[in-house]
Structure 1
Amino acid sequence: MLTDSTPTESLRPQFWSRYTLSELNHNEWEALCDGCGSCCLIKYIDEDENGDVDENLVEYTDVACQLMNCETGYCQHYDTRQQYVPDCIQLTAEKMPNMMWLPEHCAYKRVYKGQALPDWHLLLTENAVITQQQMHAANIGIAGRCVTETGMSDEEMETRVVNWVNP
């Protein structure tokens, strides 16, 4: 995720359209994240007997990982998240073929599939305020509309499926 403290010196011009995911450096990889937080929502993913996932059958809930700040939509311990949540998925280029459940606007998924970044992406607008406004207008992001998984039963989570995240 690109933040004010992320060094931009190592971001190659238009790296997202010139290189594959496996060719990106750490800062480029992190800069692809739009910060929507959708990947941190509890979701129901059914696999067939071959382990394949039909992305059209993935159901997202509005229930977020215990580390998510539901007001801001950011992980409270991003850099060390796996120390707190060992099964937190570490997104890598190698795992992308099995991660098509990511939202359709996800830059990692779009670059993997050879698609352009959404017009509102920070790498294109180069303005965090404009990006946030355009993401909000496009109904993208979990900030202000998720709840924490802490203390929630599996049965309650099953009632919280939403339709505002599209794989």
Structure 2
Amino acid sequence: MPQNDTKPVRKSAMAAKTAPAATKPFWKKGLDALSRAEWESLCDGCGRCCLVKLEDEDTGKIHFTDVVCRLFEEKSCRCSDYPGRKAKVPDCIKLTPTRLREIKWLPPTCAYRLVDEGKDLYPWHHLISGSRETVHTAGVSVRGRAGPSEDDLSDDDLLDHIVRWPGKVPPPRKF
């Protein structure tokens, strides 16, 4: 019987270059390509966008307060009536890719902002960590830092509640 002198075949460099790449996480495809479910799941639930903000009439600068929207639920850091929020809070922002690019006050930790800027999500983001609690244990959310509801204050009292932390990335924590 003749011997088979075949050698193992190596893939050519060209074949390796044309092989399909590993599937990227959905948020890497860009905001405009996300399905509605993907878009909604991108929110990390920090609640920073639910804080009342004040705009300086002279400079246009936005100042965060620790005052929360009337629909804010502090334990979950989510809206208590997300589907009906616009009817109850007319100035609530419906975030879209277009609106996102117009809004300059989104916190630096906002996943929508990060994805739009081509940056990675933080390790505490639930899509990375696998848990919706890590945004809280990492000290990113407003849980435990939220002040009164907007319904409990007059507009004159809002100036006493200006805070800086929502506009900053918190120092790294173990979670």
Q: TM-score range by the shorter chain?
A: 0.7 to 0.9
- Structure 1 residue 47 displacement after superposition: 7.8
Check if 1:143 corresponds to 2:143. Answer: yes
Aligned residue among 78, 86, 91 for 1:87: 91
* Bigger-Rg structure (1/2): 2
1:127 Cα offset (Å):
2.5
Unaligned runs of 5+ in 1: 1-11
Say whether the 8 Å CA contact 2:100–2:113 is kept in structure 1. yes
User: Residue type of the partner of 1:152?
Assistant: L
- Cα 1:46/1:145, change in 2 over 3 Å: same
Q: Cα offset for 1:162?
A: 1.1
Match of 2:108 in 1: 104
Mapped pair 1:26 → 2:36: yes
Does the 8 Å contact 1:72/1:144 carry over to 2? Answer: no
Q: What is the CA–CA distance in structure 2 between the aligned matches of 1:127 and 1:65, rounded to whole Å?
A: 25
Which structure 2 residues correspond to residues 5-154 of structure 1 after superposition, within 5 A? 14-17=25-28, 19-46=29-56, 57-128=61-132, 132=133, 134-146=134-146, 147-154=148-155
- Give the RMSD, CA atoms, in angstroms: 2.2
Cα distance in 2 between the residues matched to 1:70 and 1:161: 18
CA pair 14-120 structure 1, distance change in 2 beyond 3 A:
same
> Residue 41 of structure 2: SS of its match in structure 1?
helix
Distance verdict in 2 for CA 1:145–1:13, change over 3 Å: same
Task: Supply the distance in 2 between the matched residues of 1:75 and 1:42 (Cα, whole angstroms).
Answer: 14
Q: 1:13 to 1:79 in 2, by over 3 A?
A: farther
1: CA distance between counterparts of 2:89 and 2:139? 28
Runs of 4+ in 1 over 4 A off after TM superposition: 46-49
Q: Contact 1:73 / 1:144 at 8 angstroms: preserved in 2? A: no
Contact 2:45–2:77 (8 Å) recurs in 1: yes
Distance (whole Å) between structure 2 residues aligned to residue 137 and residue 31 of structure 1: 19
2:166 is paired with a residue whose SS is coil
Query: CA 1:31 to 1:72, structure 2 compared with 1: closer, same or farther past 3 Å?
Result: closer
SS at match of 1:95: helix
Q: Number of paired residues? A: 145
When normalised by structure 2's length, the TM-score is 0.74
TM-score under structure 1 length normalisation: 0.78
Contact 2:65 2:158 in 1 (8 A): yes
Shift of 1:159: 0.8
Q: Is the Cα–Cα contact under 8 Å of residues 46 and 58 in structure 1 kept in the other structure? A: yes
